[in-house]
Amino acid sequence: MEIHYHPGKANVVVDALSRKSYANMALGFIMPHELCKEFERLSLGFLHHTTATAFEAEPTLEQEIREHQKGDEKLQEIRELLKLGKAPHFREDEQGTLWYKNRICVPNVDSIRKLILSEAHDTAYSIHPGSTKIYYDLKERFWWYGMKRAVAEYVAICDTCQRVKAEHQRPASLLQPLKVPEWKWKEITMDFIVGLPRAQKGYNSIWVVVDRLTKVAHFIPVNTTYSGAKLAELYIFRIVCLHGEKQVFGPDIIQDAKQQLRIVQENLRVAQSRQRSYADVRRRDLSFKVDDHVYLKVSPMRGIHRFNMKGKLAPRYIGPFKILVKKGEVAYRLELPPSLSGVHDVFHVSQLKKCLIMPEEQAPLEELEVQEDLTYTEHPVKILDTSERNTRNKKIKMCRVQWSHHTEAEATWEREDELKAAYPALFANQPI
């Protein structure tokens, strides 16, 4: 037997185990007629001093669909066309149930359709799949007008999916280039290079000041202990004295300088427009309105023992929150609760996701402990199990740990020595 590697991206057909019929959640909606007949065919044995019991298995959902089919106007029109032989793909069984090929026709009843969609998306065995997966599963058993759109809308307004699932879309917001300065040294950019070895004169960092128009840079040695007043004094002495005062020139020189400046500005605008077109290819335009409700993106921060692994059910968004006002072109001010008073309330559009419908219940923010930089720390809750891993030279003790904001099913194995060093309180009640 030869084993050949086949890349996952090239594996168009799902593997055999994933295509097993018993794993198809759509089979659980309607009890197959063959199984019902098999229950009826079974005979019960009786023993002395026992109670004889009989049961009847009946697909209640199918019965409910059958009863409501009689009051659906569109399905009644299909029945009339079926009698005239103008509905070739539809059929009617001996019980009067209307079928589209091998799929039962679901009437326009919100309770029935919501039950089907909820079973396919919200239950424990379905685990919130995407709209495409749900649609292909449901289309094997059910049919109604606009079923694909109904599935997409149901998944889009799911609060759990909006808060937990990651977005697989292009980054929001188009590129916003800065305006070209009108004159040299009218607009500058600055940055600090820190962490350098200490010089003989006591300097340990470099202050970089760059003119946005001419790209001329000045490198000023400074110390990290300098105050704002000290830096302002250096700026006047090293920058303003050289470029701040205007000099008197003749009219010809001024006219030539303005003409050269217009050429430079035009070239910069052309370059900005070209770079913006390149950047916008990988971006998407996104905007909101005042009074809209949006989710706010947060980032889980775990210890180095977690190897930066992200749990599938870790919340990626919190909220929703109301938009109070639009700030600039791509920023919005949100109405944050008191628990987020330490967080700045203005956010870039890339950190927001629109809430299509307000959820009935919201996740408590106190449990997440969101920091000012929109991160929250995960810490171990308890140790579920222990084991040892044998290497060539020694044995390593491992602990199966449940982390905050996660269930026991998402517990991970961590080294005991690293856990003791980082979280000694976790082993306070552990037997020695």
Are 384 and 372 found together in one domain?
A: no
pLDDT score of 303 more than 90: no
213 DSSP β-pair partners: none
What total number of domains does the chain contain? 4
* 3-state DSSP assignment of residue 377: strand
Long-range contacts from 235-238, C-beta under 8 angstroms, 24+ separation: 235/209, 238/209
* 387 in a structural domain: yes
pLDDT for residue 48? 44
In terms of domains, do 24 and 142 share one?
A: yes
- Rounded-to-integer distance, Cα 204 and Cα 194, Å: 7
Joined tokens for residue 109: 């009843």
The model's pTM:
0.56
Asked whether the beta carbons of 332 and 325 are under 8 A apart, the reply is yes
Query: Which residues constitute the domain of residue 406?
Result: 380-427
Residue 244, domain member (yes or no): yes
Interatomic CA distance for residues 315 and 405, integer angstroms: 8
Dist. CA 164–CA 314, nearest whole Å? 6
Determine, yes or no, domain membership for 192. Answer: yes
Kindly report the backbone phi and psi dihedral angles of residue 229, in degrees, each rounded to the nearest multiple of 5, phi listed first.
Answer: -65, -40
Q: What CATH number has the domain bearing residue 401?
A: 2.40.50
Domain identity same for 387 and 354: no
Domain co-membership, 95 together with 67: yes
Distances (CA, A) of 216 to 187, 210, 211, 240: 12, 6, 5, 14
Q: Answer yes or no: is 164 within a domain.
A: no
pLDDT at 192 (0 to 100):
93
What mean pLDDT do residues 33-38 have?
Answer: 60
Q: Is 185 left (phi over 0), alpha (psi -120 to 50) or beta?
A: left
Q: Give domain status of residue 8, yes or no.
A: no
Confidence of residue 249 (pLDDT cuts 50, 70, 90): very low
Q: Higher-confidence residue: 41 or 294?
A: 294
The reply to whether 127 and 75 lie within a common domain is: yes
The pLDDT confidence band at residue 221, using thresholds 50, 70 and 90, is very high
Rounded mean pLDDT, 190-197 = 91
Note whether residue 239 is domain-resident. yes
Cβ-Cβ contacts under 8 Å for 241 (sequence gap 6 or more):
none
Can you give the pLDDT at residue 372?
A: 60
Q: Residue 107: is its pLDDT beyond 90?
A: yes
Are 148 and 33 found together in one domain?
Answer: yes
Confidence band of 33 (pLDDT split at 50, 70, 90): low
Residue 137 is assigned to a structural domain of this protein: yes
Average pLDDT, the chain: 79
pLDDT above 90 as % of the chain: 21
Q: Is residue 9 part of a domain?
A: no
| DSSP codes joined into one string, 265-291 | HHHHHHHHHHHHHHHHTT-B-----TT
Query: Of 281, 303, 321, which marks where a domain is finished?
Result: 281
Strands in 98-100's sheet, in edge-to-edge order, are 90-92, 98-100, 103-105, 142-143
Last residue of a domain, one of 260, 281, 302: 281
Where in 75-130 does DSSP place strands (E)? 90-92, 98-100, 103-105
Of residues 139 and 381, more confidence is placed in 139
**pLDDT tens-place string over residues 314-371:** 678 888 899 999 998 889 999 988 878 788 889 999 889 988 877 665 555 545 556 6
Same domain, 330 and 388: no
Tokens of 28: 């659980």
Q: Are residues 145 and 185 in the same domain?
A: no
Of 248, 281, 314, the position where a domain reaches its end is 281
| Residue pair 339/366 in contact by the 8 Å Cβ criterion | yes
pLDDT higher than 90, residue 222: yes
